Structure 1
Amino acid sequence: MRATTPRETTLGELRTSGHVHRSVKAEIRHNLLTRLRSGEARFPGIVGFDDTVLPHLERALLAGHDLVLLGERGQGKTRLIRTIGGLLDEWTPVVTGCEINDHPYAPVCVRCVRLAAETGDDLPVSWKHRDERYGEKLATPDTSVGDLIGDVDPIKVAEGRTLGDPETVHFGLVPRTNRGVFSINELPDLAERIQVALLNVLEERDVQVRGYALRLPLDVLLVASANPEDYTNRGRIITPLKDRFGAEIRTHYPLDIEHELALIRQEAELADLDGETAEVPGHLIEIIARFTRLLRESNAVDARSGVSARFSLAGTETVAAGAVRRAAIAGEDRAVARVCDLPAIVPTLMGKVEFEVSEEGREQEVLEHLLRRATAETYRRTLGAADLTGLLDKFDSGQSVESGEMVSSAELLKRVGPVPGLAKIMERLDLTGESPGQAAAALEFVLEGLFLTRRLSKDATDGTATYRT
Structure 2
Amino acid sequence: MTRPAIATVGELRASGHVQRSLRGEIRDNLLSALREGRDPWPGLHGFDATVIPQLERALLAGHDIVLLGERGQGKTRLLRTMNGLLDEWSPVIEGSELGEHPFEPITATSIRRAVQFGDDLPITWRHRDARYAEKLATPDTSVADLIGDVDPMKVAEGRSLGDPETIHFGLIPRSHRGIVAINELPDLAERIQVAMLNVMEERDIQIRGYVLRLPLDVLVVASANPEDYTNRGRIITPLKDRFGAEIRTHYPTELADEVAIIRQESDLVADVPDYLVEILARFTRALRESSAVDQRSGVSARFAIAGAETIAAAAIHRATRQGEEHAVARPVDLETAVDVLGGKIEFESGEEGREDEILDHLLRTATAETVRAHLRGVDLAALTTAIETGVMITTGEQVTAREFLTGLPPLGESDLYDVVCERLDATNDGQRAGAIELALEGLYLMRKISKESGGGETIYG
Q: Give the TM-score taking structure 2 as reference length.
A: 0.98
Q: 1: distance between equivalents of 2:208 and 2:101?
A: 26
Q: 2: distance between equivalents of 1:442 and 1:213?
A: 69
- The CA RMSD over aligned residues, in Å, is 1.0
Residues 298-327 of structure 1: CA deviation (Å, up to 9, x unaligned): 001111111000000000000100001000
For structure 2, the residue ranges without an aligned partner over 5 or more in a row are none
| Comparing 213-222 and 120-129, the one that deviates more | 213-222
| Alignment partner, residue 140 of structure 1 | 138
> For 1:446, which of 418, 435, 439 is the aligned residue?
439
Secondary structure of 1:299's match?
Answer: coil
| Alignment partner, residue 67 of structure 2 | 69
Q: 1: distance between equivalents of 2:81 and 2:452?
A: 50
- Residue 282 of structure 1 contacts residue 430 of structure 1 at CA under 8 Å; is this kept in 2? no
**1:418 shift after superposition:** 4.5
Secondary structure of 1:380's match?
Answer: helix
Alignment of 1:211-230 (within 5 A): 211-230=209-228
Q: 2: distance between equivalents of 1:66 and 1:410?
A: 58
- Residue 57 of structure 1 contacts residue 249 of structure 1 at CA under 8 Å; is this kept in 2? yes
Q: 2: distance between equivalents of 1:269 and 1:297?
A: 27
**1:280 shift after superposition:** 0.5
Alignment of 1:45-444 (within 5 A): 45-271=43-269, 278-418=270-410, 420-431=415-426, 434-444=427-437
Q: How many residues align?
A: 458
**1:166 shift after superposition:** 1.1
For structure 1, the residue ranges without an aligned partner over 5 or more in a row are 272-277
Secondary structure of 1:403's match?
Answer: strand
Residues 201-241 of structure 1: CA deviation (Å, up to 9, x unaligned): 11001111111142211101100000100122211000000
Q: 1: distance between equivalents of 2:68 and 2:160?
A: 44
Q: Sequence identity of aligned pairs in percent?
A: 63
Aligned-partner residue type, residue 349 of structure 2: V
**1:30 shift after superposition:** 0.1
Secondary structure of 1:259's match?
Answer: helix
Aligned-partner residue type, residue 392 of structure 2: S
Runs of 4+ in structure 1 over 4 Å off: none
| Alignment partner, residue 460 of structure 1 | 453
Secondary structure of 1:229's match?
Answer: helix
Aligned-partner residue type, residue 304 of structure 2: S
Secondary structure of 1:97's match?
Answer: coil
Residues 315-345 of structure 1: CA deviation (Å, up to 9, x unaligned): 0000100001000111001100001100111
**1:417 shift after superposition:** 4.4
Q: 2: distance between equivalents of 1:213 and 1:263?
A: 46
- Residue 339 of structure 1 contacts residue 445 of structure 1 at CA under 8 Å; is this kept in 2? yes
Q: Give the TM-score taking structure 1 as reference length.
A: 0.96
Q: 2: distance between equivalents of 1:161 and 1:414?
A: 84
Secondary structure of 1:208's match?
Answer: strand
- Residue 173 of structure 2 contacts residue 216 of structure 2 at CA under 8 Å; is this kept in 1? yes
